[in-house]
């Protein structure tokens, strides 16, 4: 499968840009399998060593997921989320960097072991209820499976952020946007970058 438009093997980056579709999910899963099929030298924090002589170097599986998406297919997003959530081995280092992560892309970011964004005034995260992304339908027309899937998704976010489930629903019902610092305060991020992270070459992505 051709993945050169989303995969930067040198920097261990997979780019999720634009609408999340099943085609993009297929490419992502193929690229993820490619990056996690081999061990590479990493230093503490899950980044490539800048010098061969750098201390605290171990072997691990390294994945940097760069997200610049307003969301898309819930099914496609669930496939990506499930794959990332399974990478729980101690040697797996999965960093998510949000340029923009809305709707199901927000959930994908929450599935990364280390959730990050660049500091700034720009709103980078957006959480909302599933029905807001399905215009033209009344609540009565939604299949029960949709509500079960939605509850499971928000239960995961509540567990990931150590929040009560009601807090997550309240934020989703309010269609809440967050800057990086606001997301950090709500525990939707683990770290905020002051400058472009080492795995992103300068000038490659427009949000830097």
Going along the chain from its start, the domains and CATH numbers come out as 7-125+177-193 (3.90.226.10)
Structure letter (DSSP) for residue 196: -
**Residue 51: which pLDDT band, with cuts at 50, 70 and 90?**
low
Q: Could you tell me which of 188, 78, 71 has the C-alpha nearest to residue 132?
A: 71
**The tokens of 177 are what?**
């946007």
pLDDT above 80 (res 187): yes
**Cβ atoms of residues 6 and 26 within 8 Å:** no
**Residue 78: which pLDDT band, with cuts at 50, 70 and 90?**
confident
pLDDT at residue number 137: 40
**160-163 — which CB contacts under 8 Å span 24+ positions?**
160/110, 161/110, 161/186, 161/187, 161/188, 162/187, 163/187
> Picking from 48-52, 61-65, 144-148, which range would have the lowest pLDDT averaged per residue?
144-148
Give this prediction's pTM. 0.84
In Å, how far are 37, 43, 49, 91, 96 from 53, measured between CA atoms? 25, 11, 8, 20, 27
pLDDT above 60 (res 145): no
Q: Say what percent of the chain tops pLDDT 90.
A: 44
pLDDT in tens, 89-144: 888 889 999 999 999 999 999 999 899 998 988 899 999 876 544 444 443 444 55
> Picking from 23-32, 38-47, 60-69, 178-187, which range would have the lowest pLDDT averaged per residue?
38-47
- Beta-carbon contacts of residue 158 (< 8 Å; ≥ 6 apart): 164, 165, 167, 168
pLDDT at residue number 41: 79
More confident residue, 68 or 50: 68
Q: Could you tell me which of 89, 83, 208, 82 has the C-alpha nearest to residue 153?
A: 82
First-to-last C-alpha distance (Å) of the chain: 29
More confident residue, 119 or 199: 119
Structure letter (DSSP) for residue 95: E
Q: How far apart are CA 116 and CA 95, in angstroms?
A: 7
């Amino acid at each position: 499968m051709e993945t050169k438009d989303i995969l930067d093997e040198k920097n261990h980056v997979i780019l999720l840009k634009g609408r999340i579709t099943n085609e993009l999910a297929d490419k992502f899963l193929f690229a993820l399998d490619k990056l996690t099929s081999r061990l590479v030298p990493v230093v503490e924090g899950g980044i490539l060593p800048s010098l061969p002589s750098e201390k605290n170097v171990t072997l691990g599986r390294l994945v940097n997921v760069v997200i610049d998406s307003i969301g898309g297919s819930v099914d496609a997003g669930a496939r990506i989320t499930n794959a990332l959530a399974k990478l729980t081995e101690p040697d797996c280092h999965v960093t998510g960097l949000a340029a923009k992560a809305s709707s199901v892309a927000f959930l994908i970011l929450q599935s990364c072991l280390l959730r990050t964004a660049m500091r700034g005034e720009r709103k980078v995260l957006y959480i909302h209820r599933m029905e807001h992304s399905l215009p033209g339908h009344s609540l009565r027309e939604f299949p029960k499976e949709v509500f079960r899937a939605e509850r499971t998704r928000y239960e995961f976010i509540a567990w990931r952020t150590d929040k009560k489930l009601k807090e997550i629903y309240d934020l989703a019902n309010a269609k809440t946007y967050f800057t990086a610092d606001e997301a950090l305060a709500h525990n939707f991020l683990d770290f905020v970058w002051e400058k472009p992270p080492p795995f992103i070459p300068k000038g490659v992505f427009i949000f830097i």
